[in-house]
Structure formats: structure tokens, C-alpha cells
Homo-oligomer: A and B are copies of this chain.
Amino acid sequence: MIQQFMKDSQQHNTILDLAAALNLSPATVSRALNNTSYVKKETKERVLEMALKLGYRKNKMAAGLRNNKTNTIGLILPKISMYFHAEVVTVVQNLLHAKGYNLIIGQSNDDPGMEKELAETFFSSRVDAIIVSCTLETEDFSPFDIFSTHQIPILFYDRVPPETYRARVIKGDDFNGGFLAGKHLVEAGCKHIGMINGPMTSNIYEARAAGFIAALRMLQGKEEPKLFFQQQLQAEETREALKKMFKGKSKPDGLFVTSDRNAVTVLQYAKENGIKIPQELRLVGYSNDPVTAVVSPSITTIDQYPALFGEKLVATLMEMIESPPTDEYQPAVITPVSLIERESA
């Protein structure tokens, strides 16, 4: 009876197949499947039962084409293996899944060219919205213009464009993170405080540095911290920076390293060179990567609450998707940070 309506197993059953098997119109079947408008209770049950029997699954592409809505969100980030990003992605994906959304993830590998390609691809896939954390070097944000011009919600997070590029933004309180680090080192009695930072082209490193310097100025009365290095956050460069710092006579006794991975590198360098942490050098990292808790000495660091961050991200995104687009200025959402005190400082 039913077999006769089944196609070759490799074929996909469609609404038309269901309709034929039930002597109904495709319209009614669609209504029954989607709970839209009224369908006789009995009819609905028959449809659902048959759908199960024939192993029917909606073709999302067809639905997407018709509805101009894909229930897919694109997410572009530099590297998924970074602790903060991995945590955020996990939360975002779980929350979106619960709301019936699919997530497409693209890694730019910190390459602006790749970032642009991903933006194009996601646009072609007609994502309903897009979430972006930029590369360290993104200076041209025009590849993202297509989204705003087509009224597709775009939300930047963590590494975001400058305010001059009008866009919705959610980011951690990097200024405060830097400030807390500086304050902690000053209050620990450090006199020669240095910093190893990421490239200033990225808002997060710029803000962490600003907060850090503000703390030193305010609490230490110093005009400008002397031992101050910027670099790409590679282990080799960190070692170079350390070599320079410890060559002179006024060695640092406190160091703020704006990424935990690099803070670990500092730890290793110190061990290799007989520098005692925290006795001779106090150290503060950034992100509360679990690794900071298990090295010894454990590393004092700044927690960014990635789970909370992810929740706010999704809440903001949903608001953007559901509410009609507005030209009103929307201030950046800032999520909290706090200092986690451990052995290194």
C-alpha cells in the first residue's frame, strides 16, 4: 500500500509524494507540517504519520528559497582553537540550535583576504544574519557592507571595527581589563612595570593598553611606562621582547601580557633564565585560559566570562533579527571582565 508511493531509496520524498499518498493537496500537507493556519486535527495526524512512514524531511533549500529565510547564521572568527573563541562559539551554537538556527562557522586564520571570501560565501548562502570577530589586521571593513545594504543583521564581537564604521558591536571591557591588570601590579608594589601587547591595529589590544596606561598614570604617577612592547603575538617575538627588557639595568618587576598563551611563554622564559616569579617578576595574563590555572606558578589573569559573552551575543542577535531594522545609533554592548588572582602576581 505504502510501498507503491515510495521512490527509489536514494530519492528524497517531497511534499508532493506525501500529498499523493494521502490524496491531499501539497498546500494542506505543508500547512499540517508547519502548524500554519488551520488544518483538521485528523488530517494533521494523518500527514504527520505518513511523513514518518515515508521518512520525509523538509528540503531546507527549497523552503529557504521560497521564504527568503534560511534559519542559518554565519560566524566568522580568526581561529577557533583560541580558548575565548571556542567557548563563545560553543555557547552561541547551543543557544542558536535551541532557537532553530543553524550555524556556519568560517575561520579567517587572521587573513583579511580569507575573511572577505568568507563574507562573500556567507552572503551567497543567504544567511539570516552574520557574526564577525575580525582579523588582527582588518582595516578595510567594506567587505561587510553588503550585509548592511541588504538589511542583513551584522554583529561584530571582540575584535570589532572602529566607531566610525557604524555597526552593532559587542565586546569585552578591555579598557577595564587593562586597568585592573595595571592596578594589581601597582598595588603589589611593582616599580618597573612593563607590558607585552598585541598589534595596536586591533581594538582589543589598543583598549587593553589604554586601560593599563591609565592605571599606571593614576596610581603610580608615571607619565609613561618605559618597558613597553607591541608585537604580533607569537612566542618567538615574545622571547625577543623579553630579551630586550632584561638586557638593560632597569629590569621590569611586573609585566602585563595581553594574551595567556604569551604569559605562559614568559613563564617558560623566566624559568630558563632563573627569574623568580612572583618574587622577582609579577605576571598578569589575559583571558583566563585554563592553562593559566595548571602551570606553576599559576598565572593571575583577566577573565572575560565567555559564556556570558555568548549569551549576550545571541540575545543581541535575536533582537536584531526580530525587530525591524532601525537607523538609530546603538551603543556597543560591553561585557564585564574581572581579575583572577593566582600565584604569579
Q: Are B107 and A90 in touch, CB under 8 angstroms? A: yes
Q: How far does the alpha carbon of A90 sit from the alpha carbon of B89 in the complex, in Å?
A: 14
B150 touches A120 (CB 8 A): no
On chain A, the number of residues with a Cβ less than 8 Å from chain B's Cβ atoms is 54
CB–CB A294/B264 < 8 A: yes
Q: A61-B126, A126-B59, A294-B267 are in contact. Are A12 and B102 (CB under 8 A)?
A: no
**B60-A126 in contact (CB<8A):** yes
Q: Does A133 contact B (CB under 8 A)?
A: no
Q: Could you give, for residues 136-151 of chain A, a 1 whenever the CB lies within 8 Å of some chain B CB and a 0 otherwise? A: 0000000000100111
For residue A330, CB closer than 8 A to chain B, the reply is no
Say whether A149 contacts B10, CB under 8 Å.
Answer: yes
- For residue A12, which residues in chain B have a CB less than 8 angstroms away from its CB? 126, 150
**Number of copies of this chain that the complex holds:** 2
Contact of A86 with B by CB under 8 A: yes
Determine if A80 and B70 form an interchain contact, defined as CB atoms under 8 angstroms apart.
Answer: no
A164 on interface, CB distance cutoff 8 Å: no
Question: Which residues of chain A in 80-113 are interfacial with respect to chain B, using CB atoms and an 8 Å cutoff?
Answer: 80-81, 83, 86-87, 89-90, 93-94, 97, 102-107, 109
- Establish whether residues B55 and A146, one from each chain, have CB atoms under 8 Å apart when the complex forms: yes
* Contact of A125 with B by CB under 8 A: yes
A248 to chain B, nearest CB (A): 27
Question: 30 A-B residue contacts at CB 8 Å?
Answer: A9-B149, A9-B150, A10-B149, A10-B150, A12-B126, A12-B150, A55-B146, A57-B120, A57-B123, A57-B124, A57-B146, A58-B124, A59-B65, A59-B124, A59-B126, A60-B124, A60-B125, A60-B126, A61-B125, A61-B126, A79-B90, A80-B86, A81-B83, A81-B87, A86-B86, A93-B107, A102-B125, A103-B104, A268-B294, A290-B291
The answer to whether the Cβ of A1 comes within 8 Å of any Cβ in the partner chain is no
Residue A121 interfacial (CB < 8 Å):
yes
**CB of A16 closer than 8 Å to a CB of B:** no
Q: How far is the CB of A189 from chain B (nearest CB, A)?
A: 26
A336 proximity list for chain B (CB < 8 A): none
* Complex: chain B residue closest to A10, CB-CB: B151
